Structure 1
Amino acid sequence: MTDTTAPATRVALVTGGSGGIGRAVVERLARDGIAVGVHYAGNKARAEETVAAVTAAGGRAIAVGGDVADEHAMAEAFDAVEREFGGIDVVVHTAGVMLLSPVTTLDLDELDRMHRTNIRGTFVVSQQAARRVRGGGAIINFSTSVTRLHFPSYGAYAASKGAVEALTPILARELRGRNVTVNAVAPGPTATPLLLEGKDQAAIDRLSQAAPLERLGTPEDIAETVAFLAGPARWINGQILYANGGAA
């Protein structure tokens, strides 16, 4: 007898899903048939544009808002995705803040802002994900290859992402027996507004030469790595994947 029951739709929540790498991740997961919650912090219109692009291509998506460092707001965002799609299988935490300055001149208010989003925000989202992601699912955090590349002026940012790299494998071990993988992606220089803003062409050219492939990464390059971890990569767990074209 043939089983005609349709497989359940997999569901993802992508924080920071309205632009840059986050939007590329949303669109890539949607192409794999995953229903997506597109999270935004402040730009609802851009999130709704991303949702419209997904639905126009035949996918399913909704926009959900909230400060990633606010546990109540993120609980509501997770709740909204679960109400709409019936559960959550994949959480991709791309949301982050990058403020650059030499250590000697960094405004400590900027340090606090960055750590609130990048450290507390990652912890809050990981905590919600650990409580909710269904068996067979994946939690994917975001770090940076600057933790290895050691670019000047990135000290505070890299320090905040070092915390993400410490948290990720520990959470993987804490979820023993749940059949949920926990990994982090650490992009190298990637052509997003976050990277390109304020840089002249000479600086961009130098960054382009960091990898043996002699180009900047693209959001789509990073999204392919996420799709791998979200889908077939069931034996990769507790790892930091440096998606940087061989730069480090």
Structure 2
Amino acid sequence: MNVASITEMWDRLTGSQPDPSRWLVVATALLALAAVLTRSVWRIVRNAVTIAHEGGHGLVALLSGRRLDGIRLHSDTSGLTVSRGKPHGPGMVLTAAAGYTAPPLLGLAGAALLAAGHITALLWGATALLLVMLVMIRNAYGALTVVITAALFLLVSWLTEAQVQAAFAYLVVWFLLAGGSRPVAELQRSRRRDRSGTSDADQLARLTRTPAALWMLLFYATALFSLVGGARWLLLR
């Protein structure tokens, strides 16, 4: 790869892309909302939320000084992230809290990039994060899911026109924003049926000696804040 090619790639990464039409922004928002609300579709696309959820656990575990042993993604859209370190303290609390807050916050970060016109940066950045996460995947289904998702981002960013890239990027961001609260609602329902106390909210309650309901409220508030803030950026651009 010569210097000119590297310079061209850098300019493409750091530069801004043309604004999409208003109808595209609204259409992708409605499509993402339909995917979140339609049960049969949600069962499939929820895998993307699980990737963000477990990736959030893993990233914060590393940033807080814990040792990340691995990540598993399962066909029922559940996941598991295993890290080593002190079983208490700020690092453990932040790691446990990162799962349900990661998808909407990633959506908010994506909305900020799109509002600044950095569609290519979003697509390439997502691809890079997925490839980094792939190194820590410890089961075949999880590896396959991450590879397919990363390949989709890469193919869209390299082989499609600007309008298609914009539609895909906006759809992904709207999906993370709109879908941020549904896993929390599912968690709330599952906690009513299962009193084993193994959920993220219950673990956080034990770690901080606070009610699990407080952490559920934090998860809902993060999802709502991200949705409102992200929608404001995307619709007012």
Q: Could you say which structure has the higher strand fraction?
A: 1
Q: Which has the higher contact order (CA 8 A, sep 6+)?
A: 2
Give the structure-1-normalised TM-score: 0.28
Q: Could you say which structure has the higher helix fraction?
A: 2
Give the structure-2-normalised TM-score: 0.29
